[in-house]
Amino acid sequence: MDTEAQQTERDRSSRPAPEAVEDRSRFALVARLADWLPGGWFTLTLFACLAFLLVLNTFVAQPFQIPSGSMEQGLRIGDRVLVNKLAYRFGAGPRRGDVVVFDGSGSFGDADYIKRVVGVGGDHVVCCDKKGRIEVNGRPVDETAFLYPGDTPSTVAFDVVVPGGRLFVLGDHRSDSSDSRDHLGSPGGGMVPVDKVIGRADWIILPYAHWTHLTRPAAYARVPGAGASHG
């Protein structure tokens, strides 16, 4: 009887695990699909890669081509930047100094735009102080690190408080940029809704000679929090 019991145990252990059977079934299904498609495995692999790129482009990162000179000299016409679409998906919002791509419908126009965030919700943004600098919450911002050479911070005077959930944005090439200053009298006051932001531009990826990581300028780190100066 012991021998029979041992044989029975061996029979049981020789049976494939349910997971292995399921894996083989899935592989057989994929193999049949590959046989059905023209081009077989090559076509199936191509479709899988395209699906992966579609998901990546929709939810993770998206290339964006610079259409104008409004962000020179850092971003030139024709440059391609990689937009991080996850940057603001988990509770974090745009910060002063970020370069963002946003949908301009309802604020700027029916197109996507790329600008630098100068003010976030609650910020008091003024141009200009006695030295010609933009002030945010009473603190002047030294923009020389990214402002287009020869440009002044603004030839248009403004004194605004950014509503909650909105952004005040400017191009780095101020004399060649249509930005929040040009829409001050429009509905929304030139402020971009945060929920219209597609993502943060983190890298210049093309042309290869311009490849670089886009970082937040240190000048904005010294700006006090919103509400510090509304006078």
Average pLDDT in the 78-92 region? 91
Percent above pLDDT 70 for the chain: 72
pLDDT band at 121 (very low <50, low <70, confident <90, very high): very high
Average pLDDT in the 7-19 region? 48
Reply yes or no on whether the pLDDT at 185 is more than 90.
no
Does 231 map to a domain?
A: no
Which one has a higher pLDDT value, 1 or 110?
A: 110
Q: Are 178 and 140 within one domain?
A: yes
Does 229 map to a domain?
A: no
> SS3 string of the chain?
CHHHHHHHHHHHHCCCCHHHHHHHHHHHHHHHHHHHCCCCHHHHHHHHHHHHHHHHHHHHEEEEECCCCCCCCCCCCCCEEEEECCCCCCCCCCCCCCEEEEECCCCCCCCEEEEEEEECCCCEEEECCCCCCCEECCEECCCCCCCCCCCCCCCCCEEEECCCCEEEEECCCHHHCCCHHHHCCCCCCCCEEHHHEEEEEEEEEECHHHCEECCCCHHHHHCCCCCCCCC
Predicted pLDDT at 92: 87
Residue 128 belongs to domain spanning: 62-222
Q: Are 218 and 132 within one domain?
A: yes
**Residue where one domain finishes, among candidates 59, 78, 108:** 59
Show which residues are catalytic. Answer: 70, 115
Q: Are 69 and 40 within one domain?
A: no
Q: Are 12 and 102 within one domain?
A: no
pTM for the full predicted model: 0.75
Note the pLDDT tens digit of each residue in 132-159.
999 999 999 999 999 999 999 999 999 9
